[in-house]
Structure 1
């Protein structure tokens, strides 16, 4: 309880004081990984156990709070880019590699990365997987860029051991140029047993797609985030089925960021401003949300309506497995956990 109280008090400092005035507040405590890969995939299980994945066939695992890391990727995958990973504990994880054609693949391990099974390989040259999210240890979704004018969604009901491409009759037509961003593994989010959201950009409007039946049917809502080939919604995160945030901006102009909030499950969105392009977001305690990007990290204490930057280091993705535990990962093997100084 003291730790929780201390977190809340320190978070309040960063949102009420100017940079010069603030003497304490949240900070990222870095944990050297020994890797130079760009880590865009992250799944934090607890304060001690986390998995991170990224370029050059990299999958890292720690079980001691980041003090030591093991490279546990499948053999012969050095050319793959593992943009997303979902871990259920220290032994069981599902990893998503992205890219054109058969570079988009899925692997699963049940022994902490000692061995892996390749459970899905894309055979469509027009398909490109983007990100992955699970409802529970059995049910999960992968979203890929539009094929035939509609986003492609794959589903698993057995923890990633097998995947099926869902019929697209319940998926609205994509806008010309619309796609997902494989920047952080967070272009899809889930909450509860059936609700999922997809963030998009690249079209005339940035949009959020919502499904309440595990991806069988979807509805779309435009967001106030700008949209272009390099801008839109890069990450969505929902605290529950009603309260969500969307963050993004333009990765070609990282000094400019944008965000939005929803209090009705994504049926409508209200504009907010972050300190720069943000590719990842995660909920902390109560209404606290953290967002990360290549030029810094922002914190909100009011559900994403107002943000304040608290760090200028580079991260691509963030995951908070408990209300007071957050991990972040990014370029050059950079991994940190949120602490208070």
Structure 2
């Protein structure tokens, strides 16, 4: 068993999230669950210890259970709120780069490895990672898969960069145990250079039983594509996120229901500014409005705070930002480096990133 650090104060860094986060989170917490008023929510950070993997895949099941997936074919799981982490990596996957993980509970999860041709693979476990089944290995050298999402425990999609001028979709109806390529006739043509940006496992997200959104970058315009029929037909909409370069675009989507969503992104290069790198929608992605006060830098992951209609977090290599007005304005509340963030219905919010960094929002 691997541990992501000790609980002794000398080996654990605690980054206090600003009072604004406290107010936003406590507003979302039912009164009976708030506990003592002096307890301020904060990221509780655990260093990776023996693993230096970069975790861009994250699935928050609850405050106790979370899965992370990253470089070196690494998959870790905790069931005790981060006190300990078990290395449950699929055997023989050390050369793979996992960029997404979707977990249904403490035992069942699906992970996606990215890359051209056979480097793109999907694995599923029903035994908490004690054993895995490879359910898909990409046979097409032109395809390169970026993200996956599930509508429920059975139905899901995985997306590839364009093949023959259109984004390619895989579909599953048995929880990721088998996959097939969807017809591309309902997919709009891709722009020159357009692709998915696999930075956080959030370039493909679903809300409800049929709606799904796909985020793009690398083209002349940063777009969001929407399907209301589980990926059979799509419409594309331009966003105000900076584009026109392979390093720019929409890196993460977050929807709190089928109409209200937000996007974050920018330019991932550390020496480049990322102005205007957030936007919101109130009509399911048909139109997008730029944030009046966006995050100050590139952000790669985003998540709505549970049970809140207005509060969300965005994370990136230079910090965490909070919005309390549905994405219109953001302010930085932490300077730690994270690539992805996810929240569970029981108020369990987690973040993960480089050098094995994993944190849980403590209340």
* Equivalent residue for 2:124, pick from 95, 103, 108: 108
Q: How does 1:220-259 map to 2 (within 5 A)?
A: 220-227=236-243, 228-253=245-270, 255-257=273-275, 258-259=277-278
Match of 1:332 in 2: 355
Contact 2:62 2:347 (C-alpha < 8 Å) held by counterparts: no
Match of 1:267 in 2: 286
Contact 1:33 1:69 (C-alpha < 8 Å) held by counterparts: no
- Within the alignment, does 1:291 sit opposite 2:314 as a pair? yes
Runs of 5+ in structure 1 lacking a partner?
1-5, 14-22
Contact 2:21 2:322 (C-alpha < 8 Å) held by counterparts: no
SS at match of 1:152: strand
Contact 1:260 1:270 (C-alpha < 8 Å) held by counterparts: yes
CA distance, structure 2, for counterparts of residue 12 and residue 53 of structure 1: 26
TM normalised by structure 2 equals 0.87
Cα shift at 1:275: 2.0
CA distance, structure 2, for counterparts of residue 47 and residue 151 of structure 1: 35
Partner deviation per Cα, 1:53-81 (whole Å, 9 max, x = no partner):
00001000000000100110111110000
TM normalised by structure 1 equals 0.92
* Equivalent residue for 1:153, pick from 146, 166, 169: 169
SS at match of 1:168: coil
SS at match of 1:332: helix
Match of 1:317 in 2: 340
Cα shift at 1:10: 2.6
Change (3 A) 1:176 1:8: closer
CA distance, structure 2, for counterparts of residue 288 and residue 25 of structure 1: 16
Q: How does 1:160-175 map to 2 (within 5 A)?
A: 160-175=176-191
Cα shift at 1:145: 0.2
- Within the alignment, does 1:75 sit opposite 2:91 as a pair? yes
Contact 1:95 1:107 (C-alpha < 8 Å) held by counterparts: yes
Runs of 5+ in structure 2 lacking a partner?
1-18, 27-37
SS at match of 1:56: helix
Contact 1:7 1:324 (C-alpha < 8 Å) held by counterparts: no
Cα shift at 1:333: 0.4
Contact 1:32 1:67 (C-alpha < 8 Å) held by counterparts: no
Cα shift at 1:12: 8.2
